[in-house]
Amino acid sequence: MGIKQTQTTCCYCGSGCQLLFTTDTEANKIVEVHPVQGRTNDDKACLKGWYGWDFLNDPQILTKRLREPMIRKGGKGGPLTVVSWDEAIGFVAENLKKIKDKWGPDSIMGAASARGPGNEPNYLMQKFFRACLGTNNIDHCARVCHAASVAGSRATIGEGAMSLSIPEIEDAEVIFNIGYNAAASHPIVARRIVRAKEKGAYIIAVDPRVTETSRIANLHLQLKGGSNLALTNAMANVIISEGLEDKRFIQEHTKDFDSYKEIVSHYPPEKVAPIAGLDPNDIRLAARKYASSKRSVILWGMGVTQFSQGVDVVKSLCSLSMLTGNFGRPSTGTGPVRGQNNVQGTCDMGVLPDVFPGYQSVADPAAREKFAKAWGVKSLSDSPGLQLTRVPERVVHEKDPAKKLHAYYIFGEDPAQSDPDLAELRETLAELDFVVCQDIFMNKSCLYADAILPGTSWGEHDGCYTSSDRGFQRIRKVVEPVGNIKDDWEIICLLSTAMGYPMKYNNTEEIWNEVIDLSPKFTGATYQKMERQGSVQWPCYDKGPEDKGSMYLHHGGQFATPDGRGLFKTAHYHPPVEVEGTDYPLTLCTVREVGHYSARTMTGNCRTLRNLEDEPGWVEISPEDCQTLGVVEGELVKVTSQRGSVISRCKKTERVKKGAIYMTYQWWIGACNELTISTLDPTSRTPEYKYCAAKVEKIADQAWAWREVARTYSTIKDNMGIIQKAVNQ
């Protein structure tokens, strides 16, 4: 048998772990995988790195791989028919053209992918939307994720990315870990936090739940969900009133301190303590410890951003870091640890409604002129596009057909599983005139597609990803794709060409060279340099070998703002939008499952991971609430909010406080997004996934409930096109 070894980057989280695959080239099968030395992972991987590639074998557990292009020839409601690529591309081109001619370019919306495809196809997707269709309506899942980090950080320190690198975490003296559960989300980053602790760091964990980080923390602030801003304002209040701020740093490198000081003066610890459910002395201790070091690092995640006040909290975190002079040196600064394997990259590629690749604003005439010239078009739209969380607003809630969206091109996302308030989302997908899904698996959104374009997956194509800490790293083909499928970049080229804007490339490197030549911050990051160094962190301006890229940002306190000064900003605290009451007495927060990943098309089709955890998922409930409800561990329960109802299993745990329940959003039967609220942060338009009112009810007839779960699982498989065997999988 022929044996091939290939090193590539893991396709799940943004830790960017390096994996070495051994492939039997005759059988076209992976025979072995193990982690190897990489800049971020130090030859380690988590269980998804070890076992998360089985979906390449298409075991058809939850869904199945897409192997042929399909269209609904008979129109909406008709069956999907397998067609040739020519016919599929012609069908999509004709329909998008019709809609563009009738309703204008802004009636079409695009969502691109932070997952398998990589940077190059995402660059082409936004180029297709901007240069061929003529709209900035292009976005991706950063919207539902760290968009608040990008908005809040850019408004204060000028750059939306992590200021420090993953390896620097272990040399921090103080880690302020807020709303971030690394052990489940980025296990390889969690290792750095553990190492920091071993090296003597003081760890403050701010989380309403007990997490692995809070368990090793010196101080766990188990605050009430939704009270982050009250806490961060109170910490600033303590730092300023005790004179612990870095006066010189504030004087030399920042602006707007006085207005910030005025706001935080309203948040003494005694006033905040009842709001956050904390001891005022713990708030003081956290503030003093955080201000006590010049190697204080803030790490944050979805417990900060997925709130209607997420952007304000991010601004206040960046301000805390400025207040204490914690920027511009190694092992200090701010760490919004980006979630998906390539969400940093998809932002880098300009798959955002307001920026071209390399964060060049669509509002800047010079940037528009530069891109128009490079892309060979007369002009480019200067009006910022629509954020993807506003799609329902422009479909089901918009009555004027001229203002409505008419088409949605979904590339490598599954909004019908991952967006909030799924009933509203399904209504939206059903009402749109034309929906295209370009994916590797049949997913829940595909059920609404008028055309399905099957792409090759990670492991079947080349390219590069950007890790959470701005590191460009190569991905490489491990096995040959099976079926009548094409690389994502090639599909976009065919479609664009069919619509009268020809795109032609021979490989991903040609696309990448176009990207870096148009984006000064990335210009030095050639494939050659990635091969040589393994990872190139932006900014990297020069192609020469001397410019190795940048480990950390804001050197010497020089911020990425126009005048180099950071801007202090915070806001007054307000509670989440939908709070608990008589009918819905509990608060629902939604988080992650360690062995499964996002919409679960991939991990749900990996046998080892499926054997660890499967449908219908769990709902974490405190022992007190279990007692009140009369439910026990493992029992099926009904969870309901104003928007819907699902069945899940009770997980009795002391890790959550009385009155709060937690679900993971990976499950299709226990789909918590049937319950979540679509309220958005007014600036970043990120949903409040972390807080809504809910209730849990006991199900008397457990046998019936289990049959119901089995029946639903079987229906899902039918819908996904799996031929089910007589014996249950």
Ligand X SMILES: Nc1nc2c(c(=O)[nH]1)N[C@H]1C(S)=C(S)[C@@H](COP(=O)(O)OP(=O)(O)OC[C@H]3O[C@@H](n4cnc5c(=O)[nH]c(N)nc54)[C@H](O)[C@@H]3O)O[C@H]1N2
Question: Considering only 8-16, 449-457, 586-594, 644-652, which stretch makes contact with ligand SF4 by CB under 6 A?
Answer: 8-16
> Which of 507/702 has CB closer to ligand X?
507
And the tokens for 306? 């997925």
Considering only residues 72 through 111, tell me which ones interact with ligand SF4, judged by CB under 6 A. none
And the tokens for 673? 């997004």
> Which of 49/105 has CB closer to ligand SF4?
49
How many residues touch Mo ion under the rule CB under 5 A: the total is: 2
* Cα→Cα distances 714→246, 446, 512, Å: 61, 18, 43
For 23-82, give the DSSP string.
EETTTTEEEEEEEE--TTTTT---HHHHHTTGGGG---SSS-B--S-EE-TT-TTSPPEE
598 binds, among Mo ion, ligand X, ligand SF4, none (CB under 5 to 8 A by kind): ligand X
The least distance separating ligand X from the CB of residue 716, rounded to whole angstroms, comes to 14
> Which of 45/362 has CB closer to ligand X?
45
Distance between CA 511 and CA 504 in Å, rounded?
A: 9
> Which of 88/602 has CB closer to Mo ion?
602
For 284-323, give the DSSP string.
HHHHHHHHT-SSEEEEE-HHHHSSTTHHHHHHHHHHHHHH
Distance between CA 456 and CA 412 in Å, rounded?
A: 11
For the chain, the residue count is 729
117 binds, among Mo ion, ligand SF4, ligand X, none (CB under 5 to 8 A by kind): ligand X
Question: Considering only 46-54, 246-254, 322-330, 669-677, which stretch makes contact with ligand SF4 by CB under 6 A?
Answer: 46-54
And the tokens for 276? 């956050």
| Angle between the N-to-C axes of helices 488-498 and 119-127, in degrees from 0 to 180, rounded to the nearest 10 | 20
And the tokens for 566? 């950071």
Considering the rule CB under 6 A, would residue 180 count as an interface residue with ligand SF4? no
Q: Which amino acid is at 678?
A: S
* Three-state SS at 344: helix
Residue of 140, 154, 186, 521 that binds ligand SF4 (CB under 6 A):
186
Considering the rule CB under 5 A, would residue 145 count as an interface residue with Mo ion? yes
Residue of 8, 10, 254, 554 that binds ligand SF4 (CB under 6 A):
10
Q: Could you say which DSSP state residue 331 is in?
A: T
* Three-state SS at 162: coil
Interface residues with ligand X (CB under 6 A)? 13, 113, 115-117, 141, 144-145, 178-181, 184-186, 206-209, 211, 225-226, 228, 301-303, 306, 339-340, 411-414, 418, 438-441, 443, 455, 457-458, 488, 589-594, 596-599, 601, 665, 672-673, 676, 689-690
457 binds, among ligand X, Mo ion, ligand SF4, none (CB under 5 to 8 A by kind): ligand X
Residue of 121, 134, 187, 566 that binds ligand SF4 (CB under 6 A):
187
Question: Considering only 331-339, 346-354, 569-577, 647-655, which stretch makes contact with Mo ion by CB under 5 A?
Answer: 331-339
Residue of 21, 23, 33, 49 that binds ligand SF4 (CB under 6 A):
49
> Which of 409/458 has CB closer to ligand X?
458
Helices (H) and strands (E) in the chain, counts: 24, 28
Distance between CA 377 and CA 374 in Å, rounded?
A: 8
228 binds, among ligand SF4, Mo ion, ligand X, none (CB under 5 to 8 A by kind): ligand X
Considering the rule CB under 5 A, would residue 35 count as an interface residue with Mo ion? no
The least distance separating ligand X from the CB of residue 324, rounded to whole angstroms, comes to 19
**Residue at token pair 């420090």:** 164
The least distance separating ligand X from the CB of residue 455, rounded to whole angstroms, comes to 4
The least distance separating Mo ion from the CB of residue 203, rounded to whole angstroms, comes to 23
Considering the rule CB under 6 A, would residue 48 count as an interface residue with ligand SF4? yes
For 46, residues 6+ apart whose C-beta sits below 8 A from its C-beta are 17, 187, 188, 594
> Which of 51/448 has CB closer to ligand SF4?
51
For 258, residues 6+ apart whose C-beta sits below 8 A from its C-beta are none
Which of 598, 677, 670, 688 is CA-nearest to residue 141?
598
Considering the rule CB under 6 A, would residue 15 count as an interface residue with ligand SF4? yes
Task: Note the helical H segments in 386-501.
Answer: 415-418, 422-431, 488-498
> Which of 13/313 has CB closer to ligand SF4?
13
> Which of 253/592 has CB closer to ligand X?
592
Question: Considering only 15-23, 255-263, 528-536, 685-693, which stretch makes contact with ligand SF4 by CB under 6 A?
Answer: 15-23
CA atoms within 13 A on the CB side of 488: 31
Considering the rule CB under 6 A, would residue 17 count as an interface residue with ligand SF4? yes
**Residue at token pair 């969690």:** 190
> Which of 72/461 has CB closer to ligand X?
461
The least distance separating ligand X from the CB of residue 728, rounded to whole angstroms, comes to 24
Q: What is the distance between the terminal CA atoms of the chain, rounded to a whole angstrom?
A: 31
Question: Considering only 145-153, 226-234, 379-387, 437-445, which stretch makes contact with Mo ion by CB under 5 A?
Answer: 145-153
Considering the rule CB under 6 A, would residue 46 count as an interface residue with ligand SF4? yes
| Phi, psi at 396, each rounded to 5° | -75, -25
For 79-135, give the DSSP string.
PPEE--HHHHHHHHHHHHHHHHHHH-GGGEEEE--SSTT-HHHHHHHHHIIIIII--
Distance between CA 445 and CA 410 in Å, rounded?
A: 8
Considering only residues 336 through 355, tell me which ones interact with Mo ion, judged by CB under 5 A. 339
The least distance separating ligand X from the CB of residue 341, rounded to whole angstroms, comes to 9
The least distance separating ligand X from the CB of residue 104, rounded to whole angstroms, comes to 27
And the tokens for 267? 């948040």
Q: Which amino acid is at 492?
A: I
Residue of 45, 112, 631, 705 that binds ligand SF4 (CB under 6 A):
45
> Which of 145/567 has CB closer to Mo ion?
145
Q: Which residues of this chain interact with ligand SF4, rule CB under 6 A?
A: 10, 12-13, 15-17, 41, 45-46, 48-49, 186-188
Binding footprint of Mo ion on the chain (CB under 5 A): 145, 339
